[in-house]
Amino acid sequence: MKPDSSVSQPQPTRVMYVDDSADIIDMLAMLTQGQADLEMVGALCSSKGIVEEALHRRAGVLVMDLTIPGELPLEAIRALTNQAPMCRVIAYSGYDDEKTKDSALLAGAWAFVAKRGDPNDIIKAIRRVASEPAAQTH
């Protein structure tokens, strides 16, 4: 029996990465490859133009380092939350103290993932954040 082509497959979550380390971007790209439910739609090395790029690329989840050049990362998260509310931000940082985590979440990030943890934690966080209802408090 042939599959019913009228039944649409769920669209993959469109993910964008923002980090000034090319090695981190490469690692995140490799983690994303082969994940049927995730699609990497771009990467930036600074927060410059982040809202415009997120809107242009229709990113559903944006994973952002908290020490990138350009606009202050917490201000960039606030701007994304206000101007691109369909794009859910995950703060991804080597600084994982409570003050840093709390600041990112208060700025509007949906989740915080420590860089020194298991690299697969970021994939789990992307899936979790993408599946949360919009009305749910993060």
Q: What are phi and psi of 136, to 5 degrees?
A: -70, 140
Hey, which bits of the chain come out as E strands? Answer: 13-18, 38-44, 61-65, 88-93, 111-114
> Percent of the chain beyond pLDDT 90?
84
- Walk across the sheet containing 38-44 and list its strands: 38-44, 13-18, 61-65, 88-93, 111-114
Residues ≥6 apart with Cβ < 8 Å to 19: 25, 28, 43, 45, 63, 64, 65, 68, 92
Q: Which domains does the chain have, with CATH numbers?
A: 21-131 (3.40.50.2300)
Q: What is the pLDDT of residues 32-48, one digit of tens each?
A: 998 999 999 999 999 99
Q: What is the pLDDT of residues 3-39, one digit of tens each?
A: 555 556 689 999 999 999 999 999 999 999 989 999 9
Residue 135 has pLDDT above 80, yes or no: no
Report pLDDT for 134. Answer: 76
Report pLDDT for 8. Answer: 65
Residue 50 has pLDDT above 80, yes or no: yes
Q: pTM for the full model?
A: 0.89
The overall average pLDDT reported for the chain is 91
Residue 133 has pLDDT above 70, yes or no: yes
